[in-house]
Structure 1
Amino acid sequence: MTINQEILFALSGLSVPVSFQTYSGKADTYITFFTYLDKAEQHADDREVATGHYVQIDIWSRGDYTVLVQEVHNQMEKAGFQKISFTDLYEKDLKIYHKVMRYLKVKEASTWPK
């Protein structure tokens, strides 16, 4: 399963739309996500054996998103993601609240022999 599939699966039970990078629907509250860094986390015998997938979940809302933030966090933790940082923003040009949630998941590198 790709990292994007893992995120979509983890957040599939939420009551808001979730999409990769952009959202073009009409909902007032929605989630987008992307990977901002993939890097080697562990090496053995001069080969990468573990890859760190650093992802950002963005919650966009015209109202209070506090409950949704907790739901997202719970689901990401259940899926094995580790919290890095959360940031509250307000996008003045769009007049929308924006919660940035960053996570890390370390997975076995796909290049490692099975």
Structure 2
Amino acid sequence: MNVRSIITKVLKPLNIPVVFLSYKGEDETYIRFFFYNQAPAFSAEDQEKQTGHYVQIDVFTKSGTEYARLEKGVKDLLVEAGFVFRNQNDDYEPETEIYHKILRFFYAQNTEEE
């Protein structure tokens, strides 16, 4: 299974839209994600055996309560699925009054699984 499908499936229990790259819906709360780096994580005999996927998860919401719930939910679900938490930071977009949580993870996938 590709990593985009894994992320979408793993975050489904949060019950909000989860999209790759761009969100076009009307919901005020949603998750967008993208890969900021994908590179060999392990090679043997000149063959890539594992691909490292560095992914950024962006949580957008106007609700402070949802902001906290989704921060914890995203971290818990992805770590449980084998992703390694790297870092996070907070942002607020005053022109739209949207809270924006940025979470970054690493995921190593065997090339036979891709």
Q: Same fold (TM over 0.5)?
A: yes
Partner in structure 2 of residue 92 of structure 1: 94
CA deviation map 1:76-99 (0-9, x unaligned) = 111110001111011233331110
In the alignment, structure 2 segments of 5+ residues that lack a partner are none
Q: Give me the whole-angstrom Cα distance separating, in 2, the residues matched to 1:30 and 1:77.
A: 20
Partner in structure 2 of residue 9 of structure 1: 9
Partner in structure 2 of residue 35 of structure 1: 35
Partner in structure 2 of residue 25 of structure 1: 25
Deviation at 1:23, TM superposition (A): 1.0
SS at match of 1:97: strand
Give me the TM-score of the superposition, normalised by structure 1.
Answer: 0.90
Deviation at 1:9, TM superposition (A): 0.5
Q: Percent identity?
A: 36
Q: How many residues align?
A: 111
Q: Give me the whole-angstrom Cα distance separating, in 2, the residues matched to 1:107 and 1:25.
A: 31
Partner in structure 2 of residue 106 of structure 1: 108
Code of the residue aligned with 2:105 in structure 1: it is Y
Partner in structure 1 of residue 80 of structure 2: 78
In the alignment, structure 1 segments of 5+ residues that lack a partner are none
Larger fraction in helix: 2
Aligned-residue Cα RMSD (Å) equals 1.5
Deviation at 1:36, TM superposition (A): 1.2
CA deviation map 1:20-75 (0-9, x unaligned) = 11111111111011111101111111121111011111000112101111011111
Give me the TM-score of the superposition, normalised by structure 2.
Answer: 0.90
Code of the residue aligned with 2:48 in structure 1: it is E
